[in-house]
Structure 1
Amino acid sequence: MSVIERNKPSLTRALGRVNVIGVAVALVISSVVLLVYEAVSLRAALADNAGLEAAMVAENMSAPLLFNDAEVASEVLTHLGSLPYVESVAVFDAKGRRFARYAQPGLSEKEQNEGTEAAAQEHVRLSFKDVIVAVPVVQGGARVGTVVLVATTGGMKSEFTRYACFLFLASACALWIASLVMSRTKARVIEAERRLEYYALTDPLTDLPNRRAFYDELAHCLRPSAGVLPQVTLVLIDLDDFKTVNDTLGHGAGDELLRAVAHTLRGTVRQRDIVSRIGGDEFAVLATSDTDRSQSRGTAEKIVRSLGRSFELEGTMVPVTVSVGFSRFPDDAGDIASLVSSADIALYAAKSGGKNLAFEFRPKMTAEAQRRALLERDLREAIERDRLDIAYQPQFDCRTGQLVGVEALARWNHPVQGDVSPAEFVPIAESSELILSLGQWILNRACRDAVRWNRDASAPVSVSVNVSARQLRHHSFGADVLATLEESGLRPELLELELTESLLMANLTAAVEVMRTLRARGVRLSIDDFGTGYSSLSYLQSFPLNQLKIDRSFVKALPHSGQPIVTAIISMAHSFGLTVVAEGVEYPAQLAWLCDSGCDYIQGYLTGRPMTFAALMDALNEEREHVLASERTEPAGPVS
């Protein structure tokens, strides 16, 4: 059962029932009040009529009472028979003796005699008993008798019954209408709740459960059943270089790829497995049927195979790879947080291992992750407090042997860990925003140092600085480079920025714009590790480049093999008007072959290892003295 199914909106139904009951109770209360009011009103009206009739009789009874003429009194009372509500009328003399009486036919003796002065003294507002009123007979200011009239409540009861029936029907109709309105309103509210619940738990782009729904489902799956812990595998999937698709083909293509990946994932895993999109280009699979680690590994590798292919995006076939990391419960973790952390650690290891891989969590990965976190924290502090250093590897002219430039290489001597390799801390910086501050720090330091060594150099010596993808994508990169040159005082032509082929192709639009801006101001641009990336002739013609660097993997095989490739690179670069640097030169035979093949500059352990700024200054001073000594020993020209 999915999260959305378990969270159906039952609150609205309960509130609907409560509302209907509330309306019914309100109608009952209001009906009771109305019925009581109607009963009181009817009795009061009957009492008023009875009193009025009794008063009229009393006005005609004074003479018969004075003359003791009971026959006339009886005739007067007989006329009351036309009034249906008059049950009986009795006339009493001044001493309380009954003088005359009228009673409707068919009354019992008790009913005929209930009209007494004592009974008339009882005043009841709410009752269905007969109404008894007494009116005195007055003559000349003296009371000569009393008229007691008994009014039956039969008509009142009929009227009250009709009113009660009408009120019941009206209330029932009102309740039915209210129920109908509430039912329709409830249906709309339930539908709105369903939609809100859907949007709250579903990724609208891929129609998969979102992060919240996934973690709710994960919490549900990790609950023990009958005291037995379940076997659950959490698989995290991250699309490699997804930003490249967005940057080169647009966000529409990126969205299309995410939908295609979601569809493929659903078709790859089991039907009961839960697939979710939990981030921008990150997906998760919750596999509840993998009973051991080998099955979990098979699920992860199956996902890599199914997604590691080309997808057609807006008419273009785009190769896609994914990195996958997984962890198991309860083997690798005892709670949700640990399970997710373990899978995330495995995912990071997969991405660091070369991508398009599936890695399972291993306990040692936790220590590695902790070391990464520690190094990231300390690296941030080292950048902020200027505790890094730079080593400069020299580059020499193949024809003259002169030192013409250096490459700036970051170095970090950790106060506790000792020397931390750039191969370790640079990827840590690249996986976070630290690469921006690290790259800016290296650029600032290298430009300041270059100004210092060029003050007394016998010939200009340039400095080359590597640029990361995050730096190139940053909107202020070009302006930051120019500002650094202005602050340091370094001439733009003495700064060379090294960019990789994959970096340029992944940031094509931004790269061309920034490169043209910098090149127009005199900054030199170089392609690093040429031959290992796209190696497209079109970008060599389009980008404003100055130089190519032949990757060390091609130089390493020289001079015994690999000559055609290196010869082709040198020839091609020269045909585009670019100079060539061969890096990784370690043997004299390599140097000799490169010089004979027309390579312009060389860099490697053979000619110079990375050195500190002080060592570089010593080397430049030594070279300057050598140049001065050579000039002093040159023979003088002919004297005229």
Structure 2
Amino acid sequence: MLGNEREKIRHLLVIQDLEGRRTVPLRETTYSLGRHPANTIVLASRSVSMQHAILLRVTVPETDQYGFQIIDGNYKGKGSTNGLFVNGNKCYSHNLRHGDVIAFGSNKAQAKYYAISNISEQVFSESFDVEDLSGFFSEQASPANPFQTLAIDPSFEAASESALARLASFPELIPNPIIEMDFEGTVTYLNPAAALKFPKLREVGTQHPILTGLLSGVNNVEKSSFVREVEVGTEVFEQSVLYLPQSDLIRTFIIRDITEQKQVTAELRQRDRLLQAVAEAANYLLGEMNFETGIDLALAVLGEAAQADRAYLFQNHLHPVTKELAVSLRFEWTRSFVTSTHQHWQNLPYQTSGLARWYTVLSSGNAISELTQKFPIAEQEFLIRDGIQSLLLVPLRLENEFWGYLGLADCTFERHWSRHEESTLLTMAASIISTQQRQQVEEKIRYQALHDVLTGLPNRLLFNELLSKTLPNATRKGESLAVIFLDLDRFKVINDTLGHTLGDQLLQNVAQRLKDSLRGGDTIARWGGDEFTILLPRVNDIQEVTQVAQRMLQALEDAFHLQGHELYVTASLGIALLDQNSPDAETLIQHADTALYYAKDKGRNNYQYYSVSLSAKNPELLTLEKSLRYALERDEFTVYYQPRVNIATGEITGMEALLRWQHPEMGLVAPSVFIPLAEESGLIIPIGEWVLRTACSQNKTWQDAGLQPMTIAVNLSLKQFRQPKLVEIIAEVLAQTGLEAHFLELEITETTAIEDLDFTRTVLENLQQMGIHISIDDFGTGHSSLSRLQLLPLHNLKIDKSFIQDLTRDVKVAHIIKAIVGLGQSLGLKLTAEGVENEEELEFLKSINCEDVQGFLFYRPLSAQKATEILESKQPTL
């Protein structure tokens, strides 16, 4: 103190910031300093925190004097951003002395502290600049020492720390609990708010959650203050702790009750966890090819995320015995300490098992979310048996039907399920149903891809797959197997005469009869059209195969009664056995097909086994194939012409060009022998063009000779017809030969026509625009129908000679021919019957109004010279 006289000490703070310099007399017990306008002392600088520091008045023990202590940070114990510096040294708290310079983060905001005596209240109250006080005191104070400073006793700092515990902010009136505790763990002070909130705090002491860990906590942190969260029962508080080692004091106050905030945060975290689980589960459901594996993984992710003890999937179904609606547990995930209850939840009828309420609630689209103790007694029995204390169920709906339900259960404690958990379960249910729907669609698509839509039998793809899987087993076991190729005889005639609807019904009935005639384990597939393939996987004796083949032929002997029709159908079968000549799937099918055509050549309605001799080419055929390559350039080909005759008038209405090969050594080679070789080698294209040019040139020669104009018909093979520049080639031939387009008729087979109907239509329309006539040759031998061929621009339909040959031997064939002629005429087509050889055939054709015929009854194929002579003889005499 100043001498022996008690003198009043005045405290000043001179502020220097961006707004200039100002002097603040310090009269209050507490000041807050910072950039925010709500502070007691506002500092104008961006480097200053919103609340940068606290200025506390502290009493000097055993005196009536006091000083000030400055503390870094705000009332909650949060430090400033840029720090507090006193006389250039960074500090967290400091007892101010006269002349101390305080920097708030930077030099742009500073303050200087003064403790001055011998200043009157009047002067102290006036607005003045502390730097001008020297002049004032030169007149009123001791000239020797006009600026008397406060001499602070060493005990002042300790006293000031003790005084700090009273935060000169009226703790008795603050609504927040404030507690003080010494370093011995004794509670030294409770404000009224603390006593009211924690009535047993003094009794419990450091065992109380508010004080637990404080003594150890203050020794493990660097700062003199920190903030922590404290749980008291179900409540959570944010607690600010300030400790002063010099004064043996820990002061804490409750900033706020954050129970609701913590609950919201926990719910948000749980929601995020559940959403992540849904996304992960969806990946499993989408990524796993196996539906069951995907469900197991999804339930595990869901159960873990929801922190449940069980996750279920139940599915509704008809009870296997009573046929009433029941439910069964299909998938279940449990924690390691929980016992599976899968066997308890199988085939439970809703009505008789006590679960009728579940069906009512869930089928209406609502969830079930309850503690076990609140369930009806009958339902509690199920849940208590499994140790379930709370249950959450949501419905699964598939195509608007109540398909089942998804559930979570807790066996650890009674749990109230949150809205996030219910929402997550519903989302998961939607993902599972979506996966189930996708699986059903995929199964349907796979079934359709592997089965024939009409008959329901496996198709070619599945048959090949089964055959490829069966072969290794047969080889490993030392067994054989058989592949049978079956083709219905003249089935297309039924389609053409009676329509595809009846034909499809007949195919379905045929397929069923054939299936019924097989052994258990045998497979029949629809190969296409009226062709079937049969796999006999276990063959120890060839007699077994023969018996199956005979049963299939016998199965077709009885009539089929469909739509008032009595229909008969036979079949031809080709059989190949697994052996050294047919060692793989491709060869087996190829050889069975070869044997099939051999069976047809044998008169149909029989079966034939494949043998090497059926497919081996003889040396003569190999020599012929080589010679064919030079036949065109050696002028070995010639064209013959067979007249087409009008039945009513007997006049020749056209000629058909027929290719012949005069081999220099073998003589005349039949077209049925060398034409397939030409097709196979590709030579048919240049050979066919030569025939076209030769025929057109001959027809033009006849016209130039004054003979009656007529059309010349030329056959186009499949490869000829498919060549890209066919139309241009034909136009060029017509231009070179001078023949008008309407005197040319091009013939294609049914097979050629329907291989690619859109392509065929485009080519034929182009040819029709040129004026060329189009004819379908050998009708009845392919797999088309008039209903399909009517889409093409056709002019003539030629009935295959195989029908004419059977005309007088089979009354059914006569009905077929009559139907073909009638249907063809209704479509505006001109009908020509091929292979007519006797008067009886001619009379029948005349009776059904068939216009034209070709055959040995009138003319055999003629050389150009002979044909010319015939045409000249038919010329009318003048």
TMscore range, shorter length: 0.5 to 0.7
Please give the per-residue CA displacement for 1:323-344, whole angstroms capped at 9, x wherever unaligned: 2212122454222222222222
The whole-number CA distance in structure 1 between the counterparts of 2:854 and 2:502 is 38
Match of 2:339 in 1: none
Quote how far apart the aligned CAs of 1:468 are: 11
**Aligned partner letter, 1:250:** G
Deviates more, 1:370-379 or 1:273-282: 370-379
**More relative contact order, 1 or 2 (CA 8 Å, 6+ apart):** 1
Match of 1:107 in 2: 205
Match of 1:193 in 2: 442
Please give the per-residue CA displacement for 1:76-99, whole angstroms capped at 9, x wherever unaligned: 7998799896553459xxxxxx9x
Match of 2:59 in 1: 62
Match of 2:357 in 1: none
Match of 1:134 in 2: 242
Match of 1:149 in 2: 251
Match of 2:573 among 295, 320, 324: 324
Quote how far apart the aligned CAs of 1:149 are: 0.3
Structure 1 residues 188 and 492 mapped into 2: Cα distance closer, same or farther (>3 Å)?
A: closer
Q: Secondary structure at the match of 1:317?
A: strand
The whole-number CA distance in structure 2 between the counterparts of 1:509 and 1:79 is 103
Match of 1:347 in 2: 596
Aligned positions of 1:39-118 closer than 5 A: 62=59, 66-67=63-64, 86-89=178-181, 101-102=188-189, 104-107=202-205, 114=215
Q: Secondary structure at the match of 1:181?
A: helix
Q: Is the 8 A contact 2:710 2:743 kept in 1?
A: no
Quote how far apart the aligned CAs of 1:362 are: 1.0
The whole-number CA distance in structure 1 between the counterparts of 2:561 and 2:215 is 105
The whole-number CA distance in structure 1 between the counterparts of 2:175 and 2:791 is 110
1:302 partnered with 2:410: no
Q: Is the 8 A contact 2:459 2:527 kept in 1?
A: yes
Match of 2:520 in 1: 271
Match of 1:215 in 2: 464
Match of 1:289 among 538, 543, 565: 538
Quote how far apart the aligned CAs of 1:464 are: 9.1
The whole-number CA distance in structure 1 between the counterparts of 2:179 and 2:845 is 130
Aligned positions of 1:240-639 closer than 5 A: 240-307=489-556, 310-330=559-579, 332-368=581-617, 388-391=637-640, 409-413=658-662, 419-425=668-674, 445-446=694-695, 448-449=697-698, 452=701, 488=739, 532-533=806-807, 534=813, 612-613=863-864
The whole-number CA distance in structure 2 between the counterparts of 1:268 and 1:432 is 42
Structure 1 residues 183 and 116 mapped into 2: Cα distance closer, same or farther (>3 Å)?
A: closer
Q: Is the 8 A contact 1:325 1:347 kept in 2?
A: yes
Deviates more, 1:119-128 or 1:374-383: 374-383
Q: Secondary structure at the match of 2:575?
A: strand
**Aligned partner letter, 2:241:** V
Match of 2:454 in 1: 205
Match of 1:239 in 2: 488
Q: Is the 8 A contact 1:115 1:149 kept in 2?
A: no
The whole-number CA distance in structure 2 between the counterparts of 1:501 and 1:114 is 107
Q: Secondary structure at the match of 2:533?
A: strand
* Identity, % of aligned positions: 22
The whole-number CA distance in structure 2 between the counterparts of 1:112 and 1:448 is 117
The whole-number CA distance in structure 1 between the counterparts of 2:821 and 2:445 is 54
Please give the per-residue CA displacement for 1:386-408, whole angstroms capped at 9, x wherever unaligned: 9742246899xxxxxxx999986
Q: Secondary structure at the match of 2:429?
A: helix
Which structure's residues are more often helix, by fraction? 1
Q: Is the 8 A contact 2:178 2:251 kept in 1?
A: yes
The whole-number CA distance in structure 2 between the counterparts of 1:120 and 1:516 is 101
The whole-number CA distance in structure 2 between the counterparts of 1:76 and 1:465 is 123
Structure 1 residues 581 and 251 mapped into 2: Cα distance closer, same or farther (>3 Å)?
A: closer
Q: Secondary structure at the match of 2:476?
A: coil
Q: Secondary structure at the match of 1:215?
A: helix
Deviates more, 1:110-119 or 1:196-205: 110-119
Match of 2:101 in 1: none
Structure 1 residues 317 and 255 mapped into 2: Cα distance closer, same or farther (>3 Å)?
A: same
Match of 1:634 in 2: none
Which structure's residues are more often strand, by fraction? 2
Structure 1 residues 466 and 278 mapped into 2: Cα distance closer, same or farther (>3 Å)?
A: same
Q: Is the 8 A contact 2:700 2:739 kept in 1?
A: yes
Normalising by structure 2, report the TM-score: 0.42
Q: Is the 8 A contact 1:393 1:611 kept in 2?
A: yes
**Aligned partner letter, 1:248:** T
Q: Is the 8 A contact 1:89 1:101 kept in 2?
A: yes
Please give the per-residue CA displacement for 1:469-519, whole angstroms capped at 9, x wherever unaligned: 99xxx9x9xxx9xx9899547997999x99889789x97799999999679
Quote how far apart the aligned CAs of 1:572 are: 7.9
Quote how far apart the aligned CAs of 1:217 are: 1.4
Q: Is the 8 A contact 1:324 1:350 kept in 2?
A: yes
Q: Is the 8 A contact 1:525 1:545 kept in 2?
A: no
**Aligned partner letter, 2:552:** I
**Aligned partner letter, 1:316:** H
Please give the per-residue CA displacement for 1:195-214, whole angstroms capped at 9, x wherever unaligned: 22222222222111222222
Structure 1 residues 237 and 440 mapped into 2: Cα distance closer, same or farther (>3 Å)?
A: farther
Q: Secondary structure at the match of 2:549?
A: helix
The whole-number CA distance in structure 2 between the counterparts of 1:551 and 1:163 is 97
Structure 1 residues 322 and 422 mapped into 2: Cα distance closer, same or farther (>3 Å)?
A: same
Quote how far apart the aligned CAs of 1:186 are: 2.9
Please give the per-residue CA displacement for 1:137-160, whole angstroms capped at 9, x wherever unaligned: 9xxxxxx98964046999889996
Match of 2:193 in 1: none
Structure 1 residues 344 and 119 mapped into 2: Cα distance closer, same or farther (>3 Å)?
A: closer
Structure 1 residues 311 and 410 mapped into 2: Cα distance closer, same or farther (>3 Å)?
A: farther
The whole-number CA distance in structure 2 between the counterparts of 1:603 and 1:427 is 26
The whole-number CA distance in structure 2 between the counterparts of 1:249 and 1:195 is 32
Q: Is the 8 A contact 2:699 2:712 kept in 1?
A: no
Which ranges of structure 2 fall in alignment gaps of 5 or more residues? 1-52, 65-155, 191-201, 232-237, 271-306, 308-416, 645-651, 747-774, 808-812, 874-878
Please give the per-residue CA displacement for 1:583-602, whole angstroms capped at 9, x wherever unaligned: 77xxxxxxxxxxxxxxxx86
**Aligned partner letter, 1:62:** T
Quote how far apart the aligned CAs of 1:174 are: 5.2
Q: Give the aligned CA root-mean-square deviation in angstroms.
A: 6.9
**Aligned partner letter, 1:191:** Q
Deviates more, 1:243-252 or 1:80-89: 80-89
Q: Number of aligned pairs?
A: 501
The whole-number CA distance in structure 1 between the counterparts of 2:437 and 2:849 is 72
The whole-number CA distance in structure 1 between the counterparts of 2:213 and 2:780 is 119
Q: Secondary structure at the match of 2:608?
A: strand
